[in-house]
């Protein structure tokens, strides 16, 4: 198996992986996820059998790290005797001003996980539906539907 130098992969996708993780887990935790993603990729790299779509591969690793991270987060801060806190989406500011720069992507983070991931892959990593389906392990139709549903929701709020 002829694999390109790992640095090539990092040069091509490092920035987009970081941005994808900011979109997925937030800026505070993105650095940790980023490092975990690339170290896991580096560990597995020499055993990789198919180098034909390294972009999908590295985003698959990033996607899994983001899921692990969100799960760990959910487990961690449970107050003793208390109910697990319900994440409550912050309502958009009234007044018809629409969403601010940060608010749009904050809203993306509150979408159902599959929609969130699909949107982040599409609009941060510029992924095609074939790549989104490869990363998320779904059909291309499902990938397209996830993006479509997400846009519909976001549009409703954005127009408000």
Partner 1 sequence: MMTEIEHELRRRAPRTDPVPDLSQAAAAAGLLDVAFATLDSPLGTLLLATTPRGLVRLAYVDHEGADSVLEQLATKVSPRILAARHELDEPRRELDQYFAGARRRFELPLDWRLTHGFTRRVLQATANVPYGATSTYKQVAAQAGSPLAFRAAGNALGSNPIPIVVPCHRILHSGGGLGGYTGGLERKRLLLAVESGQPRLADP
- List contacts with partner 1 (CB under 8 A): 2-8, 10, 14-15, 18-19, 22-23, 27, 31, 34-35, 38-39, 42-43, 45-46, 101-102, 104-105, 108, 119, 123-124, 151, 154-155, 158
Closest distance between partner 1 and the C-beta of residue 154, in Å? 5
Q: Say how many residues make up the chain.
A: 160
> What minimum distance in Å lies between the beta carbon of 8 and partner 1?
8
User: Please, what is the minimum distance in Å from the beta carbon of residue 3 to partner 1?
Assistant: 4
By C-beta, is 14 or 113 nearer to partner 1? 14
Q: How far is the CB of 84 from partner 1 (least distance, A)?
A: 27
User: CA angle 133-41-75, nearest 5°?
Assistant: 75
3-class DSSP state of 50: coil
Closer of 74 and 155 to partner 1 (Cβ): 155
Please state, in angstroms and rounded to a whole number, the distance separating the CA atoms of residues 115 and 76. Answer: 24
Between residues 51 and 78, which has the closer beta carbon with respect to partner 1?
51
Distance, in Å, from the CA atom of 129 to the CA atom of 79, rounded to the nearest integer, reads 40
Non-local CB neighbours of 122 within 8 Å, separated by 6+ positions = 132, 147
Please state the closest distance from residue 23 (CB atom) to partner 1, in A.
5
> Residue 134 to residues 2, 53, 69, 110: CA-CA distances in angstroms?
22, 10, 21, 23
**Token pair belonging to 67:** 């899921």
Q: Give the residue with the Cβ less far from partner 1, 60 or 105.
A: 105
Residue 119 or 134 with smaller CB distance to partner 1: 119
């Amino acid at each position: 198996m002829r694999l390109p130098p790992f640095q090539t992969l990092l040069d091509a996708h490092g920035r987009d992986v970081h941005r994808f993780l900011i979109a997925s887990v937030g800026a505070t935790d993105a650095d940790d996820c980023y490092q975990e993603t690339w170290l896991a990729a580096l560990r597995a790299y020499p055993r990789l059998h198919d180098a034909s779509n390294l972009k999908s591969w590295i985003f698959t690793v990033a996607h899994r790290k983001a899921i692990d991270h969100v799960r760990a987060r959910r487990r961690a801060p449970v107050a003793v005797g208390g109910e697990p806190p319900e994440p409550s989406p912050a309502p958009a500011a009234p007044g018809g001003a629409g969403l601010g720069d940060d608010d749009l992507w904050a809203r993306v983070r509150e979408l159902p996980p599959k929609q969130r991931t699909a949107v982040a892959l599409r609009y941060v990593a510029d992924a095609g539906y074939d790549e989104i389906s490869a990363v998320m392990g779904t059909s291309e139709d499902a990938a397209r539907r996830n993006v479509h549903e997400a846009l519909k929701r976001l549009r409703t709020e954005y127009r408000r």
